[in-house]
Amino acid sequence: MLVKHSTYTSWNDTQLVASMTAGDKAAFDEIYERYWKKLYNESFKRLRSMEQVEELVQSVFVDLWTKKERKNIQNIYAYLLTAVRYQVYMLYKKGRTLPQFEEPLEHMALSYSSADSLLNEKEIRNYIAVWLALQPEKRGEIFRMKFMEERTTKEISEHLGISQKTVQNQIITSHASLREFLQKIMIMMTIL
């Protein structure tokens, strides 16, 4: 028995997923209404292209609906967010999109390229974009604000409502993580 769509708004995610898995389109529609905007915003932070973001979010929801019987989803939002991040990663990997990096990242790219000429600056920027897409949301946001928007630690902490120490720790963690990521890429390039 299908329930009127208006009552779905009071259902929790577990109920909606169970009903959707059984083929209830209205339950799927409610999931879409709850999460499309969050997924759109998450994707837009990484892609900055409305067209690509719309296509990506739509494909995630189409996949959810067409493969609903084969999926064992415990947390729908976590599932959708992971799917979106994976799709963004795949776009980066295919080279179909890259965030526009500003001058502050050039010194990182140049320092790595001068250390090892196996990778050119464009390739390094591509790898940085892939690395950035894989970072937790807050860390990625802090990294972008610091190195792309050239904001100070104080400006970032005020904007995000967190302490300057937290911002500094995230920047240190980001830098170490990026360095390790690029070193692994260079090792792989020497093997190939």
Residues 6 or more apart whose CB falls under 8 angstroms from that of 152 comprise none
Q: At what angle do helices 153-160 and 137-147 cross, to 10 degrees?
A: 140
User: Residues 117, 173, 164, CA angle at the centre, nearest 5°?
Assistant: 130
What share of residues in the chain are helix, strand, coil (percent, to 5)?
80, 0, 20
Higher pLDDT, 161 or 52: 161
DSSP state of 71: -
CATH architecture of 12-94: Orthogonal Bundle (1.10)
Q: Which helix (H) or strand (E) holds 131?
A: helix 121-133
What distance in Å separates the CA atoms of residue 161 and residue 37, rounded to the nearest whole number? 23
User: Residues 2, 4, 10, CA angle at the centre, nearest 5°?
Assistant: 110
Residue type, 148: M
Q: What is the pLDDT of residue 114?
A: 42
- Write the pLDDT tens digit of every residue in 62-102: 889 988 888 888 899 989 988 898 888 888 777 655 454 43
Residue 178 burial (10 A CB sphere; 0-12, 13-18, 19+): buried
The CATH number of 103-191 is 1.10.10.10
What are the start and end residues of each CATH 1.10.10.10 domain in the chain? Answer: 103-191
Q: At what angle do helices 121-133 and 164-191 cross, to 10 degrees?
A: 130
Q: How many residues does the chain have?
A: 192
- Write the pLDDT tens digit of every residue in 3-37: 445 688 899 999 999 999 999 999 999 999 999 99
Give residue 81's region: left, alpha or beta (phi > 0; psi -120 to 50): alpha
Q: Tokens at residue 42, please? A: 């998450």
pLDDT band at 188 (very low <50, low <70, confident <90, very high): confident
